[in-house]
Amino acid sequence: KAGVTQTPRYLIKTRGQQVTLSCSPISGHRSVSWYQQTPGQGLQFLFEYFSETQRNKGNFPGRFSGRQFSNSRSEMNVSTLELGDSALYLCASRAYSNQPQHFGDGTRLSIL
């Protein structure tokens, strides 16, 4: 079974631009969560989607948004990029509640 796939692996943007990150979950997994990780920091929860509906949301500004498609693939969008948005963005999928999340390799976003 293929793992969680995130694209692209690396992105360089400038302040004010917007960016879209993609995540393909493990086949059969309907839940996709997104996390932001900065150097030396933990996993900051952005949001979780289940069957195309946002089920949970973290404490991030409205510039961060997401969506999930009928095939469970998910995208995350960040608008009006700021220098502080530079981070590793991780996606994780799981089959059902109380099942482990499986992480992708992440997208490393750098803002210049």
* Residues lying near other proteins in the complex (CB under 8 A): 33, 42-43, 45, 48, 55-56, 90, 92, 97-106
Least distance (Å) from other proteins to the CB of residue 16? 29
φ, ψ for residue 83, nearest 5 deg: -55, -35
Q: Which residues are within 8 A (CB) of 87 and not within 5 positions of it... i.e. 6 or more apart?
A: 36, 37, 38, 108, 109
Instruction: Specify the DSSP class assigned to residue 30.
Output: -
Between 17 and 37, name the residue whose CB sits nearer to other proteins: 37
Between 6 and 85, name the residue whose CB sits nearer to other proteins: 6
Least distance (Å) from other proteins to the CB of residue 47? 10
Question: How many CB atoms are located within 10 Å of the residue 53 CB?
Answer: 9
Between 78 and 91, name the residue whose CB sits nearer to other proteins: 91
